[in-house]
Structure 1
């Protein structure tokens, strides 16, 4: 391939990196103010689609460094809530703040990623033909030039950062493996690692253990619990056994609103929750 053709291919690849990581080219990101120990404020959020209220006056507060589980039946509004937080959906009413000073409703999706919110979708999206190490290296590039990054020598600090993330996600022994050869669970961990390379303050994780083996599920629980503290983590999940294994505070959504909130024990003994969710099998 000629140099211009090679460069064009890399630039297209770089655009793909940006889409996967949900990063953009915004200038200076607003400073995150956690002086009140709350990282996410959702207040009175209402979203309607063709007359159907996906979210109905939803209010939710997530503390800095906490691990929050969000549960609820299908159609409860869980995905729409995450869409609002990440800028994919604009609410009809309400406010969404990241810390004290960042108004999420004024930012684009790439800008929201830039200020420190990472989202992991249910289906893992990794670069299958590249190694685990290269996936993390590309994630570290963020909105920088992929062309420049691929041909620049990595600093010792960058190597150390990748090593730290490999250790965190349990893939240190697979650093040279092609990402496409990983198991489903390992791909999920790699994508979490790609988000961690951006050092998000808030990590949104959608049904992380769907399709995993029991061993992978257990390892995923350990991983998410280990992230809490340094990061705030919001997990949307249907697997109630998994939620019980990691839950500190659980929020139950129903018909677009918060139905109940508290410890797992409080929530699972709440008559309203039993009636609309747990009593119906609870998945």
Structure 2
């Protein structure tokens, strides 16, 4: 199993929500063991990351609310990837604190422990098991006992099959479940990988340029998918496609990074009209 996917996340308590567009049940996650009474699921304070004296992240402060979809934009070299590396434990900050909820200190955890706690990350290039079917990819990513004996002799129960069918519909791959993943289009592979993350029931999703290389139609459908996930998961999207960001921002906060710090933050309209953002990123 690729290390990109969470092998096991903590059991969550859920209340049932109704999927607005498809009429299927889709649970709203209430993280168990993650104290979010202050309203933030992710809290970064004074994060600095130095590489041989170069500050890739410079005194960065950022918080993401429970159920929020936050877009992160900025020029190349702004520190977006390094920030996600800090959140997932791939990079240790030189200074500062990073909390998941109120009590989980990410700076003291390994990558596996952070994934286990409920943070899922999707990189720009899709990584799926190309020799296996779409259904098998989702099955292998499912949150379950992965011990060898259980894996060898397990048979999916009706609830597990229902979960896979639900995700298939959500990611627009229902009817494609028996197709070999290697034959999917680039966009479909991206959706499948998002589906594999969702099978782990993460509380926070980090998506790095999810529409890079997609056709216009695939980009539109991806925007629809993320808008459907809004409120059911907390989501951070790093993206360069401004049209896509406008589609998913929907009046929520957009954060602009520059030289490792927050340059501006506000609605898409507010950051687009900010002279500092125009100068360093958007252009006139």
Task: Say yes or no: TM over 0.5.
Answer: yes
Does the 8 Å contact 2:129/2:137 carry over to 1?
A: yes
Q: How does 1:110-259 map to 2 (within 5 A)?
A: 110-141=112-143, 144-145=146-147, 148-247=150-249, 248-259=252-263
Q: How does 1:72-91 map to 2 (within 5 A)?
A: 72-91=74-93
- Provide the secondary structure at the position in 1 that maps to 2:283: helix
Residue 278 of structure 1: aligned partner:
282
Does the 8 Å contact 1:18/1:143 carry over to 2?
A: no
In the TM superposition, structure 1's runs of 4+ consecutive aligned residues that sit over 4 Å from their partners are none
Is 1:23 aligned with 2:7?
A: yes
1:136–1:89 CA distance, 2 compared to 1 (3 A): same
Residue 64 of structure 2: aligned partner:
62
Residue 37 of structure 1: aligned partner:
39
1:143–1:86 CA distance, 2 compared to 1 (3 A): farther
Does the 8 Å contact 2:43/2:100 carry over to 1?
A: yes
| Superposed CA offset, 1:181-214 (max 9, x none) | 0000000000000000000000000001111000
- Note the residue ranges of structure 1 that are not aligned, 5 or more in a row: 1-16
- How high is the TM-score relative to the length of structure 2? 0.89
Give distance in 2, aligned partners of 1:193 and 1:123.
15
Does the 8 Å contact 2:85/2:91 carry over to 1?
A: yes
- Larger helix proportion of the pair: 1
- Provide the secondary structure at the position in 2 that maps to 1:19: coil
Does the 8 Å contact 1:206/1:235 carry over to 2?
A: yes
- Provide the secondary structure at the position in 1 that maps to 2:78: coil
Residue 8 of structure 1: aligned partner:
none
- How high is the TM-score relative to the length of structure 1? 0.89
Residue 270 of structure 2: aligned partner:
266
Does the 8 Å contact 2:209/2:239 carry over to 1?
A: yes
Does the 8 Å contact 1:30/1:102 carry over to 2?
A: no
